[in-house]
Amino acid sequence: MALYEGVQPLDVVGPHDVLAGATELFDATGRGGGYAVTLVAERPGPVRGAGGLGLVADGALPESGPIGTLLVPGGPGSRRFGAESGYVRWLRRAVPRADRVVSVCTGAFALAAAGLLDGLSATTHWRYAPVLAARHPAVDVRSDPIYLRQGRIWTAAGVTAGIDLALALVEADHGVDVAQDIARELVVFLRRPGGQSQFAGPVWDTPARQPSVRAAQDLIHADPTADLRVPVLAARVGMSERHFSREFTRALGTPPGDYVERVRVDTARRLLESEQLLVSVAAARAGFGTAETMRRAFLRRVGVAPDHYRRHFAAVPS
């Protein structure tokens, strides 16, 4: 984890605790393995983070040797890096030695300044996505996803999304069961797929172990507005409709249509809580065909109509 003055501490501490949790789990079960995490900076010692919280670098930015995962955290300092800053020049030298490169939040600015995101899709905190896009037009900046993977380069959205991304790294390395155990220990959402919107309401659901059902889950969470009828989902994951419905229900305890409606209701709830929207607009953005369809779904699942929910739970008066 490569630190710098003005780093966002949570971008470091969140992923660090996920990786440390994996290591503790392996140690406790006698399986061995885990992660050896090193904090590095221009020089060893204290590094002043955003808000005044200090972190301690174990060593200097390494100039030789292999790197498994190179993590670039965000923070106000990263947005000030120019193409020829010392940190960015080091990144260019270090990236060829890394198996994968990860940025959290505005750490994407450092990767972009190094030219490492040119021609790729990347995400960052939604507030700074327009700035990143204007400053680096060769990067396809996506403001919506929680995290994106482009080959060996991963980028994550703001702050707590670094935890989601770290859990995804652990899952890629060690499987879903390990990632789930760590998420439970940290009391975080068991699953927020990378394609899920930064603004979508997360659903507390255990990811299915069957790859086909898991793929269907990811499709549902990634875009609740898509055509998510059973025939479409079954075709997308390469199964017959009957077999897909049976396996999905067996794996998750609920039929596909019921699951889709629940995800859409959660998405609509978050929209109504955070934005001043007409119910019809929220319905469209959450994937419901009409406001009336959403109203019926709300009455079934929330017990109140959407306009009633908005009046009581909106962050700003509607």
Active site residues: 105
Q: What are phi and psi of 316, to 5 degrees?
A: -125, 150
d(CA 195, CA 217): 11
> Whose CA is closest to 248, among 264, 269, 228?
228
H helix runs in the chain, sequence order: 9-29, 86-94, 107-113, 129-135, 161-174, 176-186, 211-222, 230-236, 241-252, 256-274, 279-286, 291-301, 306-313
Please tell me the distance from the alpha carbon of residue 8 to that of residue 10, in angstroms, as a whole number: 6
Q: How far apart are CA 194 and CA 154, in angstroms?
A: 10
Residue 109 and residue 40 in contact, taking contact as beta carbons nearer than 8 Å: no
| Enclosing H/E stretch for 54 | strand 54-57
Rounded Cα distance, 318 and 310, in Å: 7
Contact between 171 and 18 under an 8 Å Cβ cutoff? The reply is: no
Q: Quick check: 57 and 3 in contact, CB under 8 A?
A: yes
CA distance 36 to 171: 17
Whether residue 39 contacts residue 58, with contact meaning beta carbons closer than 8 Å, is answered with yes
In the 8-state DSSP scheme, what is residue 69? E
